[in-house]
């Protein structure tokens, strides 16, 4: 009989190459620290390998399972550090979409930083990573209606905050 490890290795390699960049991008945006993100990604795939070796890889949606594990590891890391969820990575990606580094960008950064953690997480998953409501619900451990509410409230808070500082002609893609 062939050991499970050898049988699972090609599957692991395929899953790793298919999802590593997306997982890293998500973790980096959650933590804002490249080194910590690389460590978390490694831990995610170690957990995947353990599941494959033990024959427990019977989850239906590998991609969502990986993001759930990544999110949980990020939250654990953030709890250990006892600090706010930094969005420097997300904010840096916003900077590229706004060529002129003016007051609009500064106000958008401030508005995003003011959002509570679930709203920031929801925005990262939907707006910046393109997940569906169903996928976000699975990753956040909630329901689709709750995800809709989270995103609705997040967008409204951003609009309210930005409408105070917006000048004529400015636009923010939310």
What the chain holds in terms of domains, given with CATH numbers, is 4-81 (1.10.1740.10), 88-165 (1.10.10.10)
What pLDDT does 74 receive? 86
What pLDDT does 8 receive? 45
Measured CA to CA in angstroms, residue 91 lies from 28, 38, 145 at distances of: 12, 19, 27
CA distance 25 to 62: 17
Q: Residues with Cβ < 8 Å from 63, sequence gap 6 or more? A: 19, 22, 135
Tokens for 139? 């990753």
**Residue 12 contacts residue 52 (beta carbons within 8 Å):** yes
What pLDDT does 89 receive? 53
Counting as low any pLDDT under 70, the low residues of the chain are 1-9, 57-59, 81-105, 109, 164-174
Tens digit of pLDDT for each residue in 80-112? 765 444 455 555 555 554 444 556 667 776 777
- The DSSP secondary-structure symbol of 128 reads I
Which three-class secondary structure string do you get for 33-52? CHHHHHHHHHHHHHHHHHHH
What pLDDT does 84 receive? 44
- C-alpha atoms less than 13 angstroms from C-alpha of 113 in its C-beta half-sphere: 14
CB atoms within 10 A of CB 114: 12
């Amino acid at each position: 009989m062939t050991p499970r490890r050898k049988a699972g290795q090609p599957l692991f390699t395929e899953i790793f190459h298919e999802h590593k960049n997306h997982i890293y991008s998500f973790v980096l945006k959650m933590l804002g620290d490249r080194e910590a993100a690389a460590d978390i990604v490694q831990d995610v795939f170690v957990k995947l390998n353990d599941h494959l070796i033990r024959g427990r890889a019977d989850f239906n949606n590998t991609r969502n399972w990986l993001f759930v594990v990544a999110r949980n590891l990020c939250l654990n890391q953030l709890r250990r550090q006892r600090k706010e969820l930094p969005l420097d990575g997300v904010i840096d990606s916003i900077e590229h979409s706004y060529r002129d580094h003016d007051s609009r960008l500064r106000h958008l950064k401030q508005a995003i930083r003011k959002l509570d953690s679930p709203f920031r997480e929801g925005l990262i998953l939907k707006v910046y990573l393109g997940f569906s409501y169903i996928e976000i619900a699975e990753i956040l451990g909630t329901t689709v209606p709750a995800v809709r509410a989270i995103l609705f409230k997040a967008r409204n808070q951003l609009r309210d905050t930005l409408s105070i500082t917006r000048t004529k002609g400015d636009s923010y893609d939310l």
